[in-house]
Structure 1
Amino acid sequence: MIGESRPGTAPHRHESWNYWRPSDSHIVELGTVRGLDVALPVHFHEEDQVTFVLSGRRRFVIDGQLFAVAPGQGMHIPARTPHHSLSEPSEIVCINLYTPAGAYAARDLISDLARQWRRVGQIGWPELTTIAEDHRCVAGNIPDPAGTLAGTDLRETVEQAAQRAGMSREGFSRRFRKHHGMPPHAFWLLEKLNDARRLLRRGEPIAGVAAETGFADQSHLGRCFRRVFGVTPGRYRAG
Protein backbone atom coordinates (compact mmCIF):
# COMPACT_ATOMS: atom_id res chain seq x y z
CA MET A 1 0.00 0.00 0.00
CA ILE A 2 1.04 3.57 -0.64
CA GLY A 3 -0.19 5.94 2.04
CA GLU A 4 0.66 8.76 4.36
CA SER A 5 3.62 8.61 6.76
CA ARG A 6 2.90 6.84 10.02
CA PRO A 7 2.58 9.20 13.00
CA GLY A 8 5.83 9.57 14.88
CA THR A 9 8.11 8.51 12.04
CA ALA A 10 10.99 10.85 11.26
CA PRO A 11 11.10 12.46 7.82
CA HIS A 12 13.62 11.10 5.34
CA ARG A 13 16.47 13.57 5.02
CA HIS A 14 17.20 12.62 1.44
CA GLU A 15 14.92 11.71 -1.39
CA SER A 16 14.16 8.07 -2.04
CA TRP A 17 13.07 7.11 -5.53
CA ASN A 18 11.83 3.64 -6.43
CA TYR A 19 10.60 2.30 -9.76
CA TRP A 20 8.47 -0.65 -10.86
CA ARG A 21 7.49 -1.92 -14.30
CA PRO A 22 4.09 -3.63 -14.15
CA SER A 23 4.00 -6.64 -16.45
CA ASP A 24 0.20 -6.67 -16.82
CA SER A 25 -0.22 -3.04 -17.86
CA HIS A 26 0.59 -0.71 -20.71
CA ILE A 27 2.15 1.70 -18.18
CA VAL A 28 5.85 2.11 -18.98
CA GLU A 29 6.73 2.33 -15.30
CA LEU A 30 5.57 3.45 -11.87
CA GLY A 31 7.65 5.43 -9.43
CA THR A 32 7.44 6.63 -5.85
CA VAL A 33 9.38 9.31 -4.05
CA ARG A 34 9.47 10.03 -0.34
CA GLY A 35 11.54 12.63 1.46
CA LEU A 36 12.45 16.30 1.69
CA ASP A 37 15.11 16.95 -0.91
CA VAL A 38 12.99 16.08 -3.92
CA ALA A 39 14.35 18.81 -6.19
CA LEU A 40 15.45 17.72 -9.66
CA PRO A 41 17.02 19.95 -12.34
CA VAL A 42 15.34 20.71 -15.64
CA HIS A 43 14.62 17.51 -17.54
CA PHE A 44 11.94 15.84 -19.66
CA HIS A 45 10.67 12.34 -20.33
CA GLU A 46 9.80 10.54 -23.53
CA GLU A 47 6.59 9.49 -21.79
CA ASP A 48 3.66 11.40 -20.30
CA GLN A 49 4.06 11.83 -16.54
CA VAL A 50 1.20 11.80 -14.06
CA THR A 51 2.21 12.78 -10.53
CA PHE A 52 -0.21 12.21 -7.65
CA VAL A 53 0.62 13.51 -4.17
CA LEU A 54 -0.28 11.42 -1.14
CA SER A 55 1.19 13.64 1.57
CA GLY A 56 3.19 16.84 1.69
CA ARG A 57 3.44 19.00 -1.42
CA ARG A 58 5.18 18.82 -4.80
CA ARG A 59 6.09 21.95 -6.73
CA PHE A 60 7.03 21.97 -10.39
CA VAL A 61 8.24 24.78 -12.62
CA ILE A 62 7.28 24.64 -16.30
CA ASP A 63 8.18 27.46 -18.67
CA GLY A 64 8.73 29.79 -15.72
CA GLN A 65 5.35 29.03 -14.13
CA LEU A 66 5.09 27.46 -10.67
CA PHE A 67 2.60 24.63 -10.07
CA ALA A 68 1.90 23.40 -6.53
CA VAL A 69 0.29 19.99 -6.05
CA ALA A 70 -1.32 19.30 -2.65
CA PRO A 71 -2.27 15.93 -1.09
CA GLY A 72 -5.04 14.25 -3.01
CA GLN A 73 -4.20 16.21 -6.15
CA GLY A 74 -2.37 15.28 -9.33
CA MET A 75 -0.60 16.90 -12.25
CA HIS A 76 -0.09 15.83 -15.85
CA ILE A 77 3.23 16.71 -17.51
CA PRO A 78 3.07 15.90 -21.24
CA ALA A 79 5.88 13.99 -22.92
CA ARG A 80 9.02 15.99 -23.76
CA THR A 81 7.95 18.97 -21.63
CA PRO A 82 10.97 20.49 -19.82
CA HIS A 83 10.29 20.88 -16.10
CA HIS A 84 12.03 20.89 -12.76
CA SER A 85 10.90 20.30 -9.19
CA LEU A 86 11.68 22.05 -5.91
CA SER A 87 12.70 20.84 -2.46
CA GLU A 88 10.05 20.97 0.24
CA PRO A 89 10.14 21.94 3.94
CA SER A 90 8.21 18.85 5.04
CA GLU A 91 8.29 15.24 3.91
CA ILE A 92 6.39 14.38 0.76
CA VAL A 93 5.10 11.06 -0.52
CA CYS A 94 3.95 10.86 -4.12
CA ILE A 95 3.59 8.46 -7.00
CA ASN A 96 4.51 8.96 -10.64
CA LEU A 97 3.05 7.11 -13.61
CA TYR A 98 4.97 7.19 -16.88
CA THR A 99 2.78 6.27 -19.83
CA PRO A 100 3.18 6.29 -23.63
CA ALA A 101 2.59 9.76 -25.02
CA GLY A 102 -1.12 10.40 -25.56
CA ALA A 103 -2.11 6.87 -24.55
CA TYR A 104 -4.03 7.68 -21.34
CA ALA A 105 -6.72 10.24 -20.48
CA ALA A 106 -4.64 11.94 -17.80
CA ARG A 107 -7.29 14.31 -16.42
CA ASP A 108 -9.84 11.55 -15.86
CA LEU A 109 -7.13 9.27 -14.46
CA ILE A 110 -6.16 11.92 -11.89
CA SER A 111 -9.84 12.46 -10.96
CA ASP A 112 -10.31 8.76 -10.23
CA LEU A 113 -7.07 8.59 -8.22
CA ALA A 114 -8.33 11.54 -6.15
CA ARG A 115 -11.67 9.81 -5.64
CA GLN A 116 -9.90 6.62 -4.44
CA TRP A 117 -7.69 8.66 -2.12
CA ARG A 118 -10.63 10.50 -0.56
CA ARG A 119 -12.51 7.25 -0.09
CA VAL A 120 -9.86 5.14 1.67
CA GLY A 121 -6.89 7.45 2.31
CA GLN A 122 -4.40 5.29 0.45
CA ILE A 123 -3.77 3.72 -2.95
CA GLY A 124 -2.51 0.18 -3.47
CA TRP A 125 -0.61 -0.91 -6.58
CA PRO A 126 -3.51 -3.09 -7.83
CA GLU A 127 -5.94 -0.17 -7.54
CA LEU A 128 -3.43 2.15 -9.18
CA THR A 129 -2.92 0.01 -12.26
CA THR A 130 -6.62 -0.83 -12.52
CA ILE A 131 -7.60 2.85 -12.43
CA ALA A 132 -4.93 3.68 -14.98
CA GLU A 133 -6.01 0.96 -17.41
CA ASP A 134 -9.61 2.18 -17.17
CA HIS A 135 -8.41 5.37 -18.84
CA ARG A 136 -6.19 3.97 -21.55
CA CYS A 137 -6.99 5.20 -25.04
CA VAL A 138 -5.37 4.91 -28.46
CA ALA A 139 -1.70 5.84 -28.21
CA GLY A 140 -0.80 9.07 -29.97
CA ASN A 141 2.35 10.82 -30.99
CA ILE A 142 3.42 14.21 -29.70
CA PRO A 143 4.59 16.36 -32.63
CA ASP A 144 8.04 17.86 -32.33
CA PRO A 145 7.56 21.64 -32.45
CA ALA A 146 11.16 22.21 -33.49
CA GLY A 147 11.05 19.91 -36.49
CA THR A 148 14.51 18.85 -37.56
CA LEU A 149 16.18 20.84 -34.79
CA ALA A 150 15.60 18.04 -32.29
CA GLY A 151 16.61 15.37 -34.78
CA THR A 152 20.24 16.33 -34.58
CA ASP A 153 22.98 13.70 -34.36
CA LEU A 154 23.81 13.77 -30.65
CA ARG A 155 27.52 13.51 -31.47
CA GLU A 156 27.45 16.80 -33.39
CA THR A 157 28.63 20.08 -31.96
CA VAL A 158 26.22 23.01 -31.91
CA GLU A 159 28.25 24.59 -34.70
CA GLN A 160 27.98 21.47 -36.89
CA ALA A 161 24.23 21.23 -36.26
CA ALA A 162 23.81 24.91 -37.13
CA GLN A 163 25.74 24.49 -40.37
CA ARG A 164 23.63 21.49 -41.33
CA ALA A 165 20.49 23.56 -40.68
CA GLY A 166 21.90 26.45 -42.73
CA MET A 167 21.93 28.79 -39.75
CA SER A 168 24.48 30.66 -37.69
CA ARG A 169 25.49 29.08 -34.38
CA GLU A 170 23.82 31.89 -32.45
CA GLY A 171 20.66 31.80 -34.55
CA PHE A 172 20.39 28.04 -34.23
CA SER A 173 20.84 28.21 -30.44
CA ARG A 174 18.23 30.98 -30.08
CA ARG A 175 15.66 29.12 -32.17
CA PHE A 176 16.38 25.86 -30.38
CA ARG A 177 15.99 27.45 -26.95
CA LYS A 178 12.73 29.13 -28.05
CA HIS A 179 11.21 25.78 -29.09
CA HIS A 180 12.63 23.56 -26.34
CA GLY A 181 13.13 25.90 -23.40
CA MET A 182 16.80 24.99 -23.05
CA PRO A 183 20.04 25.22 -25.04
CA PRO A 184 20.98 22.45 -27.52
CA HIS A 185 23.64 20.75 -25.40
CA ALA A 186 21.32 20.46 -22.38
CA PHE A 187 18.54 19.06 -24.58
CA TRP A 188 20.82 16.51 -26.24
CA LEU A 189 22.14 15.35 -22.87
CA LEU A 190 18.56 14.69 -21.76
CA GLU A 191 17.89 12.83 -25.02
CA LYS A 192 20.84 10.56 -24.23
CA LEU A 193 19.67 10.04 -20.66
CA ASN A 194 16.18 9.09 -21.85
CA ASP A 195 17.76 6.61 -24.27
CA ALA A 196 19.69 5.24 -21.30
CA ARG A 197 16.43 4.86 -19.31
CA ARG A 198 14.92 2.86 -22.15
CA LEU A 199 17.93 0.53 -22.40
CA LEU A 200 18.17 0.08 -18.63
CA ARG A 201 14.48 -0.87 -18.49
CA ARG A 202 15.34 -3.66 -20.94
CA GLY A 203 18.02 -4.88 -18.54
CA GLU A 204 21.04 -3.90 -20.62
CA PRO A 205 24.42 -3.77 -18.78
CA ILE A 206 25.20 -0.31 -17.45
CA ALA A 207 28.64 -0.14 -19.07
CA GLY A 208 27.12 -1.08 -22.42
CA VAL A 209 24.36 1.51 -22.01
CA ALA A 210 26.97 4.19 -21.27
CA ALA A 211 28.90 3.31 -24.43
CA GLU A 212 25.80 3.07 -26.64
CA THR A 213 24.39 6.40 -25.50
CA GLY A 214 27.63 8.32 -25.89
CA PHE A 215 28.82 8.80 -22.31
CA ALA A 216 32.54 8.72 -21.56
CA ASP A 217 32.18 5.76 -19.21
CA GLN A 218 29.87 4.15 -16.66
CA SER A 219 30.79 6.70 -13.99
CA HIS A 220 29.94 9.60 -16.29
CA LEU A 221 26.52 8.10 -17.02
CA GLY A 222 25.99 7.45 -13.32
CA ARG A 223 26.72 11.03 -12.29
CA CYS A 224 24.42 12.54 -14.93
CA PHE A 225 21.65 9.98 -14.40
CA ARG A 226 21.62 10.39 -10.62
CA ARG A 227 21.57 14.19 -10.83
CA VAL A 228 18.67 14.34 -13.32
CA PHE A 229 16.49 11.38 -12.27
CA GLY A 230 17.29 11.11 -8.55
CA VAL A 231 18.44 7.48 -8.65
CA THR A 232 21.52 5.58 -9.80
CA PRO A 233 21.42 3.61 -13.08
CA GLY A 234 21.91 0.38 -11.13
CA ARG A 235 18.98 0.98 -8.82
CA TYR A 236 16.82 2.15 -11.72
CA ARG A 237 17.71 -0.94 -13.77
CA ALA A 238 16.87 -3.22 -10.83
CA GLY A 239 13.32 -1.85 -10.81
Structure 2
Amino acid sequence: MDKQLPAGMPRFWRDPAIAGVELRLSSYDRRTFPKHSHDNYAIGLVETGESTFFFRGGSHRIGAGQLALIPPGEVHCCNPAGDSNWRYRMWHIAPGLMHGIAEEVAGTGARPCFRSPIADDHIVWGHLLHFSSLLQNSSGNAGDREEAMYASLSALLIRLGECRPRTDTARQPAAVRLAEEYLRTNIEETVTLETLANLTGLSPWHFLRLFKAAKGLPPHAFQTQLRINLARQLLREGDEIADVAYRTGFSDQCHFSRKFRQFTGATPGQYRAAQGF
Protein backbone atom coordinates (compact mmCIF):
# COMPACT_ATOMS: atom_id res chain seq x y z
CA MET A 1 0.00 0.00 0.00
CA ASP A 2 1.33 3.45 -0.91
CA LYS A 3 1.75 6.29 1.51
CA GLN A 4 -1.35 8.42 1.98
CA LEU A 5 -1.79 10.85 -0.90
CA PRO A 6 -2.80 14.44 -0.14
CA ALA A 7 -6.41 14.94 -1.27
CA GLY A 8 -6.57 16.11 -4.87
CA MET A 9 -2.94 15.23 -5.70
CA PRO A 10 -2.96 12.35 -8.22
CA ARG A 11 0.09 10.42 -9.36
CA PHE A 12 0.61 8.78 -12.75
CA TRP A 13 2.67 5.85 -14.04
CA ARG A 14 3.43 4.64 -17.56
CA ASP A 15 5.87 2.06 -18.86
CA PRO A 16 7.48 2.81 -22.26
CA ALA A 17 7.71 -0.94 -22.83
CA ILE A 18 3.92 -1.37 -22.48
CA ALA A 19 2.17 0.86 -24.98
CA GLY A 20 -1.41 1.85 -24.21
CA VAL A 21 -1.45 1.60 -20.39
CA GLU A 22 -1.56 4.43 -17.88
CA LEU A 23 -2.16 4.13 -14.12
CA ARG A 24 -3.44 6.96 -11.93
CA LEU A 25 -3.55 6.86 -8.12
CA SER A 26 -5.92 9.47 -6.66
CA SER A 27 -7.46 10.52 -3.36
CA TYR A 28 -10.37 12.97 -3.02
CA ASP A 29 -12.70 14.09 -0.26
CA ARG A 30 -15.03 16.35 -2.24
CA ARG A 31 -16.85 16.48 -5.57
CA THR A 32 -14.28 16.78 -8.35
CA PHE A 33 -15.36 15.46 -11.73
CA PRO A 34 -18.15 16.53 -14.13
CA LYS A 35 -19.81 14.07 -16.49
CA HIS A 36 -17.26 13.03 -19.09
CA SER A 37 -16.04 10.17 -21.24
CA HIS A 38 -12.68 8.63 -22.17
CA ASP A 39 -11.27 7.43 -25.46
CA ASN A 40 -9.80 4.44 -23.58
CA TYR A 41 -11.17 1.67 -21.40
CA ALA A 42 -11.15 2.89 -17.78
CA ILE A 43 -10.76 0.28 -15.04
CA GLY A 44 -11.04 1.59 -11.48
CA LEU A 45 -10.13 -0.15 -8.24
CA VAL A 46 -11.57 1.53 -5.12
CA GLU A 47 -9.28 1.15 -2.10
CA THR A 48 -11.02 3.26 0.55
CA GLY A 49 -14.19 5.27 0.92
CA GLU A 50 -17.35 5.29 -1.14
CA SER A 51 -18.44 7.25 -4.18
CA THR A 52 -21.49 8.00 -6.27
CA PHE A 53 -20.97 6.54 -9.74
CA PHE A 54 -23.07 7.98 -12.58
CA PHE A 55 -23.23 5.62 -15.56
CA ARG A 56 -25.72 5.20 -18.43
CA GLY A 57 -28.19 7.64 -16.96
CA GLY A 58 -28.31 6.16 -13.45
CA SER A 59 -26.47 6.65 -10.16
CA HIS A 60 -24.84 3.79 -8.27
CA ARG A 61 -22.80 3.46 -5.07
CA ILE A 62 -19.34 1.95 -5.32
CA GLY A 63 -17.08 1.29 -2.33
CA ALA A 64 -13.83 -0.19 -1.14
CA GLY A 65 -12.96 -3.52 -2.73
CA GLN A 66 -15.09 -2.96 -5.82
CA LEU A 67 -14.18 -2.39 -9.45
CA ALA A 68 -15.56 0.18 -11.92
CA LEU A 69 -15.55 -0.98 -15.57
CA ILE A 70 -16.07 1.77 -18.16
CA PRO A 71 -15.85 1.24 -21.94
CA PRO A 72 -14.60 4.01 -24.25
CA GLY A 73 -17.09 6.75 -25.05
CA GLU A 74 -19.41 6.03 -22.10
CA VAL A 75 -20.45 9.18 -20.26
CA HIS A 76 -19.89 8.81 -16.51
CA CYS A 77 -18.57 10.49 -13.39
CA CYS A 78 -17.41 9.29 -9.99
CA ASN A 79 -17.28 11.55 -6.93
CA PRO A 80 -16.89 10.93 -3.17
CA ALA A 81 -20.11 10.19 -1.29
CA GLY A 82 -20.56 12.72 1.52
CA ASP A 83 -17.27 13.38 3.30
CA SER A 84 -15.87 9.97 2.37
CA ASN A 85 -12.08 9.85 1.99
CA TRP A 86 -12.12 8.23 -1.41
CA ARG A 87 -8.93 6.64 -2.76
CA TYR A 88 -8.72 4.63 -5.96
CA ARG A 89 -6.49 3.37 -8.75
CA MET A 90 -7.59 3.95 -12.34
CA TRP A 91 -6.13 2.22 -15.37
CA HIS A 92 -6.60 3.73 -18.82
CA ILE A 93 -6.20 0.98 -21.40
CA ALA A 94 -6.00 1.76 -25.13
CA PRO A 95 -8.80 0.14 -27.17
CA GLY A 96 -6.32 -1.57 -29.48
CA LEU A 97 -4.70 -3.36 -26.55
CA MET A 98 -8.01 -4.50 -25.06
CA HIS A 99 -9.31 -5.59 -28.46
CA GLY A 100 -6.16 -7.63 -29.07
CA ILE A 101 -6.55 -9.47 -25.77
CA ALA A 102 -10.27 -10.03 -26.48
CA GLU A 103 -9.35 -11.62 -29.80
CA GLU A 104 -6.81 -13.87 -28.07
CA VAL A 105 -9.52 -14.93 -25.61
CA ALA A 106 -12.44 -15.33 -28.03
CA GLY A 107 -11.19 -15.19 -31.61
CA THR A 108 -10.85 -12.71 -34.46
CA GLY A 109 -13.19 -9.72 -34.34
CA ALA A 110 -14.14 -10.15 -30.65
CA ARG A 111 -14.69 -6.99 -28.63
CA PRO A 112 -14.93 -6.64 -24.81
CA CYS A 113 -18.29 -6.04 -23.17
CA PHE A 114 -18.60 -5.92 -19.37
CA ARG A 115 -21.64 -7.53 -17.77
CA SER A 116 -21.93 -4.77 -15.14
CA PRO A 117 -20.23 -1.39 -14.58
CA ILE A 118 -19.51 -2.40 -10.95
CA ALA A 119 -17.99 -5.72 -9.95
CA ASP A 120 -16.74 -7.65 -6.91
CA ASP A 121 -14.02 -10.14 -7.74
CA HIS A 122 -11.06 -10.79 -5.46
CA ILE A 123 -9.11 -12.66 -8.14
CA VAL A 124 -9.28 -9.80 -10.67
CA TRP A 125 -8.61 -7.37 -7.81
CA GLY A 126 -5.47 -9.30 -6.86
CA HIS A 127 -4.18 -9.38 -10.44
CA LEU A 128 -4.71 -5.64 -10.88
CA LEU A 129 -3.12 -4.79 -7.55
CA HIS A 130 -0.07 -6.89 -8.43
CA PHE A 131 0.18 -5.25 -11.86
CA SER A 132 -0.11 -1.85 -10.18
CA SER A 133 2.72 -2.55 -7.75
CA LEU A 134 5.01 -3.66 -10.61
CA LEU A 135 4.11 -0.64 -12.75
CA GLN A 136 4.93 1.70 -9.86
CA ASN A 137 8.30 -0.01 -9.31
CA SER A 138 10.28 1.32 -12.26
CA SER A 139 13.36 -0.61 -11.16
CA GLY A 140 11.61 -3.96 -11.64
CA ASN A 141 11.72 -6.30 -14.62
CA ALA A 142 9.83 -5.12 -17.75
CA GLY A 143 8.94 -8.70 -18.63
CA ASP A 144 7.25 -9.19 -15.27
CA ARG A 145 5.17 -6.05 -15.82
CA GLU A 146 4.08 -7.19 -19.26
CA GLU A 147 3.09 -10.64 -17.98
CA ALA A 148 1.15 -9.06 -15.11
CA MET A 149 -0.67 -6.80 -17.56
CA TYR A 150 -1.78 -9.75 -19.73
CA ALA A 151 -2.78 -11.79 -16.67
CA SER A 152 -4.84 -8.88 -15.29
CA LEU A 153 -6.68 -7.98 -18.49
CA SER A 154 -7.37 -11.55 -19.57
CA ALA A 155 -8.75 -12.37 -16.10
CA LEU A 156 -10.86 -9.22 -16.30
CA LEU A 157 -12.39 -10.24 -19.63
CA ILE A 158 -12.87 -13.91 -18.76
CA ARG A 159 -14.37 -13.39 -15.29
CA LEU A 160 -16.26 -10.08 -15.63
CA GLY A 161 -16.90 -9.62 -19.32
CA GLU A 162 -18.05 -11.12 -22.55
CA CYS A 163 -16.29 -10.96 -25.89
CA ARG A 164 -18.80 -10.13 -28.62
CA PRO A 165 -18.54 -9.46 -32.36
CA ARG A 166 -17.44 -5.98 -33.38
CA THR A 167 -20.17 -3.34 -33.08
CA ASP A 168 -21.18 -1.59 -36.27
CA THR A 169 -20.69 2.12 -35.55
CA ALA A 170 -22.84 2.92 -38.60
CA ARG A 171 -25.87 2.27 -36.39
CA GLN A 172 -25.46 5.80 -35.06
CA PRO A 173 -27.56 8.37 -36.94
CA ALA A 174 -25.75 9.74 -39.98
CA ALA A 175 -26.13 13.29 -38.66
CA VAL A 176 -24.34 12.37 -35.43
CA ARG A 177 -21.48 10.66 -37.27
CA LEU A 178 -21.10 13.65 -39.59
CA ALA A 179 -21.10 16.11 -36.67
CA GLU A 180 -18.59 14.05 -34.68
CA GLU A 181 -16.20 13.93 -37.62
CA TYR A 182 -16.54 17.69 -38.07
CA LEU A 183 -15.80 18.30 -34.37
CA ARG A 184 -12.75 16.03 -34.51
CA THR A 185 -11.44 17.67 -37.68
CA ASN A 186 -12.00 21.20 -36.34
CA ILE A 187 -10.99 20.55 -32.74
CA GLU A 188 -9.18 23.90 -32.39
CA GLU A 189 -12.24 25.89 -33.55
CA THR A 190 -15.25 26.97 -31.49
CA VAL A 191 -18.02 25.15 -33.34
CA THR A 192 -21.51 26.48 -32.73
CA LEU A 193 -24.71 24.48 -32.52
CA GLU A 194 -26.01 26.42 -35.52
CA THR A 195 -22.98 25.36 -37.60
CA LEU A 196 -23.57 21.69 -36.80
CA ALA A 197 -27.30 21.95 -37.42
CA ASN A 198 -26.70 23.54 -40.84
CA LEU A 199 -24.08 20.88 -41.62
CA THR A 200 -26.54 18.06 -40.92
CA GLY A 201 -29.61 19.76 -42.41
CA LEU A 202 -31.54 19.64 -39.14
CA SER A 203 -32.98 22.30 -36.88
CA PRO A 204 -30.75 23.17 -33.90
CA TRP A 205 -33.32 21.73 -31.50
CA HIS A 206 -33.70 18.45 -33.42
CA PHE A 207 -29.94 18.07 -33.89
CA LEU A 208 -29.19 18.74 -30.22
CA ARG A 209 -31.67 16.10 -29.09
CA LEU A 210 -30.28 13.55 -31.58
CA PHE A 211 -26.63 14.19 -30.69
CA LYS A 212 -27.15 14.13 -26.93
CA ALA A 213 -29.18 10.91 -27.14
CA ALA A 214 -26.38 9.23 -29.11
CA LYS A 215 -23.34 10.61 -27.24
CA GLY A 216 -24.65 11.37 -23.76
CA LEU A 217 -23.27 14.91 -23.93
CA PRO A 218 -24.24 18.06 -25.86
CA PRO A 219 -21.88 18.98 -28.73
CA HIS A 220 -19.92 21.68 -26.86
CA ALA A 221 -19.19 19.37 -23.91
CA PHE A 222 -18.31 16.57 -26.32
CA GLN A 223 -15.83 18.83 -28.14
CA THR A 224 -14.27 19.84 -24.80
CA GLN A 225 -13.79 16.15 -24.03
CA LEU A 226 -12.14 15.62 -27.42
CA ARG A 227 -9.79 18.50 -26.65
CA ILE A 228 -8.85 17.08 -23.25
CA ASN A 229 -8.19 13.65 -24.77
CA LEU A 230 -5.92 15.20 -27.41
CA ALA A 231 -4.18 17.32 -24.75
CA ARG A 232 -3.36 14.20 -22.72
CA GLN A 233 -1.79 12.62 -25.79
CA LEU A 234 0.28 15.71 -26.63
CA LEU A 235 1.48 16.11 -23.04
CA ARG A 236 2.50 12.45 -22.93
CA GLU A 237 4.55 13.11 -26.07
CA GLY A 238 6.36 15.98 -24.32
CA ASP A 239 4.75 19.04 -25.95
CA GLU A 240 4.96 22.31 -24.04
CA ILE A 241 1.83 23.28 -22.10
CA ALA A 242 1.36 26.59 -23.94
CA ASP A 243 1.58 24.81 -27.31
CA VAL A 244 -0.92 22.17 -26.20
CA ALA A 245 -3.37 24.85 -25.06
CA TYR A 246 -3.12 26.51 -28.48
CA ARG A 247 -3.36 23.29 -30.50
CA THR A 248 -6.45 22.13 -28.61
CA GLY A 249 -8.36 25.37 -29.07
CA PHE A 250 -8.43 26.79 -25.53
CA SER A 251 -8.60 30.57 -25.24
CA ASP A 252 -5.51 30.79 -23.00
CA GLN A 253 -3.27 28.67 -20.80
CA CYS A 254 -5.23 29.44 -17.62
CA HIS A 255 -8.49 28.30 -19.22
CA PHE A 256 -6.76 25.16 -20.48
CA SER A 257 -5.27 24.36 -17.06
CA ARG A 258 -8.62 24.84 -15.33
CA LYS A 259 -10.48 22.57 -17.75
CA PHE A 260 -7.73 19.95 -17.81
CA ARG A 261 -7.77 19.64 -14.04
CA GLN A 262 -11.58 19.51 -14.02
CA PHE A 263 -11.55 16.46 -16.29
CA THR A 264 -8.39 14.65 -15.17
CA GLY A 265 -7.87 15.64 -11.53
CA ALA A 266 -4.38 16.97 -12.32
CA THR A 267 -2.93 20.17 -13.75
CA PRO A 268 -1.23 19.94 -17.17
CA GLY A 269 2.09 20.49 -15.39
CA GLN A 270 1.49 17.60 -12.97
CA TYR A 271 0.43 15.33 -15.81
CA ARG A 272 3.37 16.26 -18.03
CA ALA A 273 5.86 15.84 -15.16
CA ALA A 274 4.56 12.32 -14.57
CA GLN A 275 5.70 11.40 -18.08
CA GLY A 276 9.28 12.35 -17.18
CA PHE A 277 9.38 15.69 -19.00
Question: What TM-score, normalized to structure 2?
Answer: 0.72
* Alignment CA distance shift 1:190-1:178 (3 Å): same
Q: CA deviation at 1:32?
A: 0.7
Give the one of 111, 133, 147 matched to 2:177.
147
For residues 126-160 of structure 1, give each alpha carbon's deviation from its aligned partner in whole angstroms, at most 9, with x where no partner exists.
Answer: 4876433223699x899474422311234222111
Three-state SS of the structure 2 residue aligned to 1:151 is helix
Find out whether 1:40 has 2:40 as its counterpart.
no
Percent identity reads 27
Q: CA deviation at 1:214?
A: 0.7
* Alignment CA distance shift 1:38-1:23 (3 Å): farther
Give the one of 215, 221, 241 matched to 1:186.
221
Find out whether 1:99 has 2:134 as its counterpart.
no
Question: What TM-score, normalized to structure 1?
Answer: 0.82
Structure 1 partner of 2:141: none
Aligned equivalents of 1:117 and 1:173: distance in 2?
40
Q: Unaligned regions of 5+ residues in structure 2, if any? A: 103-111, 136-143, 158-162
One-letter amino acid of the counterpart of residue 114, structure 1: W
Q: CA deviation at 1:110?
A: 8.2
Aligned equivalents of 1:132 and 1:68: distance in 2?
27
Find out whether 1:125 has 2:159 as its counterpart.
no
Structure 1 partner of 2:57: 64
List structure 1 segments (4+ residues) > 4 angstroms apart after TM superposition: 105-111, 126-130
Q: State whether residues 241 and 253 of structure 2, in contact with CA within 8 Å, keep that contact through their aligned partners in structure 1.
A: yes
Q: Matches of residues 1-239 of structure 1 in structure 2 within 5 Å?
A: 1-2=1-2, 12=6, 14-37=7-30, 39-88=32-81, 89-101=83-95, 103-104=97-98, 111=121, 112-116=123-127, 124-126=133-135, 130-134=147-151, 135=153, 143=169, 145=172, 146-152=176-182, 153-154=186-187, 155=189, 156-239=191-274
Over the aligned positions, Cα root-mean-square deviation in angstroms equals: 3.2
The number of residue pairs the alignment matches comes to 229
Q: CA deviation at 1:68?
A: 2.5
Q: State whether residues 43 and 190 of structure 1, in contact with CA within 8 Å, keep that contact through their aligned partners in structure 2.
A: yes
Q: State whether residues 26 and 99 of structure 1, in contact with CA within 8 Å, keep that contact through their aligned partners in structure 2.
A: no
Three-state SS of the structure 2 residue aligned to 1:125 is helix
Q: CA deviation at 1:125?
A: 3.1
Aligned equivalents of 1:102 and 1:67: distance in 2?
29
Q: Unaligned regions of 5+ residues in structure 1, if any? A: 6-10
* Alignment CA distance shift 1:196-1:61 (3 Å): same
Q: State whether residues 2 and 124 of structure 1, in contact with CA within 8 Å, keep that contact through their aligned partners in structure 2.
A: no
For residues 31-78 of structure 1, give each alpha carbon's deviation from its aligned partner in whole angstroms, at most 9, with x where no partner exists.
Answer: 011131253111111111000112222331013212322222211111
Q: State whether residues 45 and 88 of structure 2, in contact with CA within 8 Å, keep that contact through their aligned partners in structure 1.
A: yes
More helix per residue:
2
